[in-house]
Amino acid sequence: MTRYALTYEFDGTPFQGLQRQKHGPSVQQAIEEALFRITGEEVTLHSSGRTDTGVHAMAMRSHIDLSREMAPFRLMEALNAHLRPNPIGVNACEIVSEEWHSRFSCIGRRYLYRIVNRRAPLALAKNRAWQVAPELDIEAMQRAARSFIGQHDFTTFRSTMCQARDPVKTLDRLDVVETEALFGPEIQFHVEARSFLHHQVRSMVGCLQLVGRGTWEESRIAAALEARDRAELGLNAPPHGLYFVEAIYPD
């Protein structure tokens, strides 16, 4: 068997997430079906992360095993041809050792969440960012975000459907940055950790947005963490503003 590592981007709008679902199309299904048409093999896609319905990816990393070897460039070109018209683009393909695993070899994951802070309806950024009309206090959100950094029990900020055994995670980075885009003020949340709980990023962003609006005091973020109770969650940000940015590996 030959193991290939794939790097690809996708628009999550038409998919029920990355991993296969019984109730709708997924990114995994689209790639596996394309691989079957190319190779005639029933191939399983193993990925470094998973995404919910509507969540996007800039550089998802996955691997597959094929019984016959193909030139990586040829495989990449064939995949892109057979994936059309799905909004998925494979931009790198390489042969890796059988010991390398897209999920278990991964030592970090980075996410981006985008808020467009304006009143006018979104046209170009529709389904690509969360529109929040009231003006947000960036500095207050930046200060409140510091409470998330480090090791915490994130029970308050995990989905009730989360399958992780341990709610304790270590957040390495959560930066709140304001940029001036052509379509108006954009607020970006840059988040990094070894691993995340289901809905953790969206839950943190949703509550920080409440701080920015003045609905929550800054101190309430720390109090919600300490409560370890999903009932203390203020808001779960919508999925379409979230992007899986990259998976990090030792080399």
Active-site amino acid positions: 52
3-state secondary structure the chain: CEEEEEEEEECCCCCCCCCCCCCCCCHHHHHHHHHHHHHCCCCCCEECCCCCCCCEEEEEEEEEEECCCCCHHHHHHHHHHHHCCCCEEEEEEEEECCCCCCCCCCCEEEEEEEEECCCCCCCCCCCCCEECCCCCCHHHHHHHHHHHCEEEECHHHCCCCCCCCCCEEEEEEEEEEEEEECCEEEEEEEEEECCCCCCHHHHHHHHHHHHHHCCCCCHHHHHHHHHCCHHHCCCCCCHHHEEEEEEECCC
